[in-house]
Chains A and B, each alone.
Chain A
Amino acid sequence: MAQKTAEELAQKQREISIAEFFEKNRHLLGFDNPRRALMTAVKEAVDNALDACEEARILPEINVELIQLGETRFRIVIEDNGPGIIKAQLPKIFAKLLYGSKFHKLAQTRGQQGIGISAAVLYGQLTTGKPATIMSKTGEGKKAIRMKLKINTQTNNPDVIEEEEVEWEEKDHGTRIEIDMEGAYLKGRQSVDEYLKETSVVNPHCTIIYTNPEANQMIFPRAAEQLPPEAREIKPHPYGVELGMLIKMLETTKASTLQQFLTDEFVRVGAGTAKEICANASLLPSTKTKNLNRDLMENLHKGIQNTKIIAPPTDCISPITADLLEKGLRKEINAEFYCSTTRPPAVYRGNPFIIEAALAYGGEQEGDSAVRILRFANRVPLLYQQGACAITNSIQATSWRLYGLQQSKNSLPVGPCTIVVHMSSVWVPFTSESKEALAHYPEIVKEVKLALQECGRKLASFVNKKRRISEESKKRGYIEKYIPHVADSLKSIVGLSEIQKKQVEDDLYAILEHTRGELEEIEMDNPDYDPELAQIGAEDETEEPMGDDSSPHKKGKKRKEELDEEKEGDENEDSFSDDDENDNPGDRQLKLS
C-alpha cells in the first residue's frame, strides 16, 4: 500500500461541528432507539418547562400530547404556562446545541448543558426532515411568536424556516413546542407514561395533562400549591475547580488582584481565607491577575488544595423531603411498610448535594424477584441505564441480608421491596449526556449507602416484627389445630364422656391462650394508594404498539423488529446497562384488587 503524506492526510482533516458529532452519536443523548427517543424528547421538553416555570415562580401546568402520524412517526406536543421566551432567544434555545442558561451557573435545576431540547429538535429533523414548531408568548395582551426551526448541522446554528406573529388566546404566557419524529410507543417501565407519572410524584406542585397516542387523557393533578424553594445560584467552591477551569476563570475575571479574584469568584472565601490560600501558594494577595503565568496559576491551584476551606453552603439545595418522597411511594405501591430518610448535605468536588431514600416493603409486591428501583436526580426520574448508575451500585454494595432481604454477593437484593433514591445537587454528575445514570463519586456512593442503611435499619425492625407476629400466629394456629387431638386421644385412652372431652378442650384453650396476650396484626393501611396511577407504566411492555392498522401478520413482524432494535440499542449504549431490558416490567406488574 502506498504511503500517504501528511499533506494528503491533511485534506481529510477538518473541524467537526457539535451538531454533526451528535448526529452520529445520538445514543449519547438518549436517542438510540425509537422508544427511548420518544421518551427522551418528552423528557427534555418537560424538564425545560418545569425549570422555566420554577425560575419565574409560576405554578407549572404542562400539557403533553403524543399523536401518532404513521406507523413509526409521532408528533410530540408540549405546552407550558411558563414565562415564555423572547423572540431573539427562541432560535438559539431550540436550535443550537450547547446553548443555555444553566451550564455556567451552579444551581439546582433539571437542565444543565443546554443540549437536551435542541437534541430533540435535531433528532426530529434527522428522522423526518421536518422543522420543529415553537410558539411562545411572554405576557398578557402581547402577540405570540411562532417559528419553524431547524439546526444547521455544519455550523450548529439555527435556521429559521418560518416566523410569524399570531394570536394565542388561551394563554397569557407560555411556550409550546411541536416536534415530528420517528418513535415507538410502548408502555412499561421505560415509557413516556412512566416518566410523566414519576415526574408528577416527585413534583407535586405541578399539573400534567397527558394525552397518549391512544387518545386517552391522563391528568396528574397538582398536590401542593407551594413551589419548591427557588433554586439559589452559588458560586463555585474552590475545591471543585480544576486547573483548566481556574485558568479560564482568571482570564475572564473582572477582578484586578488575586485577593479580589478569590473573594469575588468563589463561595466560602473571605479575606482571611484568601490570604491563607495566597500564602499556601507562595503568592502575594496583591498580585495582578493578568500578571499570573501558567506556573503561578498551578501554584495557586495547589495552594487552594492545601488550604482548609469550609464546605459550600447547602441551603441552596431543596430536597424533595422524606415525607413527600414517602407519600409519592404510597400512591404508587400498596405495601405494608414505608420509611424514608433525608441525609444531611454533603459535598463532592466542591458541589453540595443531598441524598434522600425511601422504601416500600411487602404488601402486593412480588417477593421472588429483584427489588424495584426508582431513581431521581433533581426531581427528574431516571428510567434508563439502571445498571450503570451509582445509585444501583450503592444498593448492590449494601448488605441487605442484615435488613431482611435476600441478596447474593454484589447483586441487587431480592424481596417484595421498592427502593427510591433521590439526589439533589447544584450539579448532578451524569455518566453521559443522556443524563440517565449518576457517576460514581465516592462521596455520593457513601451518602447513598448511608441513606439506604438508615432505611434498612427501620426495615429490619419491621421485618423482625413481622416474623415474630407470623410465628406467633402460627403457634396460635397450632393451638387451634391440636387441642382437639389432645382431647380426643385423652377421651379414647382414659374413657372420657363427650362433656368431659369438651371440658378438656375448654381448659386447654384457657391454659394456652391465657399466657399469650393480644395478637398484633399487620395490615395494609395505605389510604394514599392510587391503583390507577400505579397501573401506569406497569402494563405489559410487549403490548401491541398503537395505531397500527396493518394486517396481524405484519404487526407481529413489526413488533419483533422494534424489540430487536431496542435490544441492539442498549447493547451499544453500555455494557452495564443490561438491567434495563432484563427488568421486564410485566414480571413486576402490580396485582390490583
Chain B
Amino acid sequence: MATKKEETANKYVLGKIKDIAKRMYDTIRLQKKPEIEMPIRALSNVSYDDKEGYFKLLKSVKSRTLTASTIKTFAQTLRMMELSKQLVETDDIATKREAYYVSKNWGDARFREQPESDTVMDDIEAMMGVNREQIGFIPEEKGGAVAGELVVIDQDADSGKDLEIDCTKFGSGAYSIPSSVEHLRFKTKAKFILAIETSGMFERLNKHNYWKKANCILIAMGGVPTRACRRFIRKLADEQKLPVYVFCDGDFYGYFNIHRTLKVGSGNAAHINEFFCVPQAQYIGITPQDIIDYQLPTHPLKDVDIKRAKDALKNDPFVQHYTAWQKAAEQQIKMKARAEQQALAKHGLNFVIDKYLPEKLKNRKTWLP
C-alpha cells in the first residue's frame, strides 16, 4: 500500500519516464538521431556546498547519441525503463539481481552479466535525477544494524497496520535497516546517534548496553554506509533532531571513505546526495591526535594508504573545504601509522566504554568536522 507521498513520487517518476521516451519518439519521427543526457557522476563533477552540507552535482553531462555502436545500450536502457515503469505502476520492487534476470526475456537485448545491467540502472537513475528505489530497483545489500533507545514504526505488508519495533529488545542482536526506509517513522528519547564503522565494536558496545548508559542509538555501518543506512540516519537525525557522531578506525579509509560518504555523499551517487547524506555528522574518533594521546598501538601506513590521502587532499572537495581535515591528514601522513578501533583494548577491554567514549563526547575540541 502506497502512501500519499509515495503516490506523488510515483506519478513524478512515471511522468519522467514517459517524458524521456516521448521526446525520443518525437526525435526519431523527425528522422534525427535521439540523444540521452546524464550528469557525469564522479568527484570531479561535484562541489561541496557548506550551506546545504553535501556534495552538489555540477553541470558536466555526458550525452549518448543513437548510432550503430550505441543502439544496443539504447535498446537496453529503454527496456529497463519499461521494466521500471511496470514496477512503479504495480507498486512492486526488483533487486538489481532480479532485474538482471528479468532481462533474460529480452532476447538479443538481454544482459550477459549483472554489472552491465547495474550500469544501465545507474544511468537511468542519473538521467532522471531520482534514486533507484524510486524507480523500483533496490540493492541487495543490508542497510546496517541498529540498537538502542529507539522505536521504529514500520507497516505490516499485508494489513498495512503500524508495526512498532523496539530497538532495545533485540538482546545481543540488532534491528536491521531495510533497503527502503522512506516510509519509516520513529519514536525516541535518545540524546544522540553513534554510527560505528565495525560490527565488532558495535557488538561490544551493544553487549554492555552502552546505549543505556549513554542514552543513545547505536548503528553499525559495516564499512562504507549503504544508501539505505545513510538515508535512515539522516531521516532519524532530522526528524528527531539528534546529533550524529561517527566512530571509525583511525585511517584514511575511515575518514574519507566512510565518514565523508556518510556526511556529504559520494561522487558516484552525486545526483541523489541531497537525500543520502548526513550533514550533521561529526567525527569523534579515532583521530590522529588520539593515537598520540591514548598511546595506541599502530600499524604502518602502506603506500596505497598514503596515495589515498594525497589523492583526497588534492581532489576531494570535502577535504579541501575543511582545514581541520587537511591538518589531520598531513599529521597522520607524517606519523606514517594508523590505528584500529579495537586498538583501545590495549588499555582494557571496556576502556572504550568507561573512558574513551565519555571523554571524547565531553571534549568537542577533539572532534573533527
Please state if A511 and B32 are interface contacts (CB–CB under 8 Å). Answer: yes
**Which of A482, A492, A493, A507 contacts B75, CB < 8 Å?**
A482
* B66 interface hit (Cβ, 8 Å): yes
In the bound complex, how far is the Cα of B78 from the Cα of A492, in angstroms? 10
- Contact of A511 with B68 at beta-carbon distance under 8 Å, contacts A489-B81, A494-B22 already known: no
- Contact of A494 with B18 at beta-carbon distance under 8 Å, contacts A489-B82, A504-B28 already known: yes
In the bound complex, how far is the Cα of B71 from the Cα of A476, in angstroms? 10
Least CB distance from A481 to B in Å reads 4
* B90 interface hit (Cβ, 8 Å): no
- Contact of A485 with B109 at beta-carbon distance under 8 Å, contacts A492-B82, A493-B78 already known: yes
Please state if B75 and A486 are interface contacts (CB–CB under 8 Å). Answer: yes
- Contact of A481 with B108 at beta-carbon distance under 8 Å, contacts A486-B71, A490-B78 already known: yes
Please state if A503 and B109 are interface contacts (CB–CB under 8 Å). Answer: no
Please state if B68 and A476 are interface contacts (CB–CB under 8 Å). Answer: yes
* A254 interface hit (Cβ, 8 Å): no
**Which of B17, B29, B68 contacts A493, CB < 8 Å?**
B17
Please state if B29 and A507 are interface contacts (CB–CB under 8 Å). Answer: yes
Residues of B with C-beta under 8 A to A478: 68-69, 71-72
The prevalent SS among residues of A at the interface is: helix
Indicate with 1 or 0, residue by residue over B6-48, a CB within 8 angstroms of chain A CB atoms.
0000000000011001101100110111000000000000000
Residues of B with C-beta under 8 A to A486: 66, 71, 74-75, 78
What count of chain B residues pass the 8 Å CB interface test? Answer: 29
Residues 28-44 of A at the B interface (beta carbon under 8 Å): none
Indicate with 1 or 0, residue by residue over B70-109, a CB within 8 angstroms of chain A CB atoms.
0110111011011001000000000000000000001111
Q: With CB as the reference atom, state the residue of chain B lying closest to A508.
A: B28
Indicate with 1 or 0, residue by residue over A399-425, a CB within 8 angstroms of chain B CB atoms.
000000000000000000000000000
Least CB distance from A247 to B in Å reads 73
Q: With CB as the reference atom, state the residue of chain A lying closest to B77.
A: A489
- Contact of A489 with B75 at beta-carbon distance under 8 Å, contacts A482-B109, A511-B33, A512-B67 already known: yes
Q: With CB as the reference atom, state the residue of chain A lying closest to B20.
A: A493
Least CB distance from A105 to B in Å reads 66
Q: With CB as the reference atom, state the residue of chain B lying closest to A486.
A: B75
Q: With CB as the reference atom, state the residue of chain A lying closest to B29.
A: A507
Indicate with 1 or 0, residue by residue over A489-520, a CB within 8 angstroms of chain B CB atoms.
11011101000000110011011100010000
- Contact of A511 with B25 at beta-carbon distance under 8 Å, contacts A475-B69, A485-B75 already known: no
Please state if B71 and A512 are interface contacts (CB–CB under 8 Å). Answer: yes
- Contact of A493 with B18 at beta-carbon distance under 8 Å, contacts A507-B29, A511-B31 already known: yes
* A479 interface hit (Cβ, 8 Å): yes
Residues of A with C-beta under 8 A to B29: 503-504, 507
Least CB distance from B95 to A in Å reads 21
Residues 465-491 of A at the B interface (beta carbon under 8 Å): 475-476, 478-479, 481-483, 485-486, 489-490
Most chain A CB within 10 A, of B28, B82, B108, is at: B28
Residues of B with C-beta under 8 A to A490: 21, 24-25, 28, 78
- Contact of A512 with B68 at beta-carbon distance under 8 Å, contacts A485-B107, A490-B78, A494-B18 already known: yes
Least CB distance from B345 to A in Å reads 55
Residues of A with C-beta under 8 A to B71: 478-479, 482-483, 486, 512
Residues of A with C-beta under 8 A to B85: 492-493
Least CB distance from A539 to B in Å reads 43
Please state if B81 and A511 are interface contacts (CB–CB under 8 Å). Answer: no
Residues of B with C-beta under 8 A to A494: 18, 21-22, 25
Residues 330-353 of A at the B interface (beta carbon under 8 Å): none
Please state if A510 and B31 are interface contacts (CB–CB under 8 Å). Answer: yes
Please state if B78 and A507 are interface contacts (CB–CB under 8 Å). Answer: no
**Which of A482, A492, A504 contacts B108, CB < 8 Å?**
A482
Please state if B28 and A485 are interface contacts (CB–CB under 8 Å). Answer: no
In the bound complex, how far is the Cα of B66 from the Cα of A483, in angstroms? 11
In the bound complex, how far is the Cα of B72 from the Cα of A486, in angstroms? 9
Least CB distance from A456 to B in Å reads 30
**Which of A482, A493, A503, A504 contacts B74, CB < 8 Å?**
A482
In the bound complex, how far is the Cα of B108 from the Cα of A516, in angstroms? 22
Residues of A with C-beta under 8 A to B74: 482, 486
Residues of B with C-beta under 8 A to A508: 28, 66
Residues of B with C-beta under 8 A to A489: 21, 75, 78-79, 81-82
Q: With CB as the reference atom, state the residue of chain B lying closest to A501.
A: B25
Residues 178-218 of B at the A interface (beta carbon under 8 Å): none
Residues of A with C-beta under 8 A to B32: 511
Least CB distance from B77 to A in Å reads 9
Most chain A CB within 10 A, of B25, B66, B81, is at: B25
Least CB distance from A515 to B in Å reads 8
In the bound complex, how far is the Cα of B85 from the Cα of A475, in angstroms? 29
Please state if A475 and B68 are interface contacts (CB–CB under 8 Å). Answer: yes
Residues of B with C-beta under 8 A to A493: 17-18, 21, 78, 81-82, 85
Please state if A516 and B68 are interface contacts (CB–CB under 8 Å). Answer: yes
Please state if B25 and A496 are interface contacts (CB–CB under 8 Å). Answer: yes
Least CB distance from B71 to A in Å reads 4
Least CB distance from A519 to B in Å reads 12
Least CB distance from B169 to A in Å reads 46
In the bound complex, how far is the Cα of B34 from the Cα of A504, in angstroms? 12
In the bound complex, how far is the Cα of B76 from the Cα of A453, in angstroms? 45
User: Which B residues are closer than 8 A to A by beta carbons?
Assistant: 17-18, 21-22, 24-25, 28-29, 31-33, 66-69, 71-72, 74-76, 78-79, 81-82, 85, 106-109
Closest 8 pairs (CB-CB, A-B): A489-B78, A485-B75, A475-B68, A493-B21, A482-B75, A481-B108, A485-B109, A482-B71
**Can you list 16 contacts pairing A with B, beta carbon distance less than 8 Å?**
A476-B68, A478-B68, A482-B109, A483-B71, A485-B78, A489-B75, A489-B79, A489-B82, A490-B21, A496-B25, A504-B25, A507-B28, A507-B29, A508-B66, A512-B66, A512-B68
Given A490-B21, A507-B29, A512-B66, 16 additional A-B pairs, CB 8 A: A478-B72, A479-B68, A482-B75, A485-B79, A486-B78, A489-B78, A489-B82, A490-B24, A490-B78, A493-B81, A494-B18, A494-B25, A504-B25, A504-B28, A510-B31, A511-B32
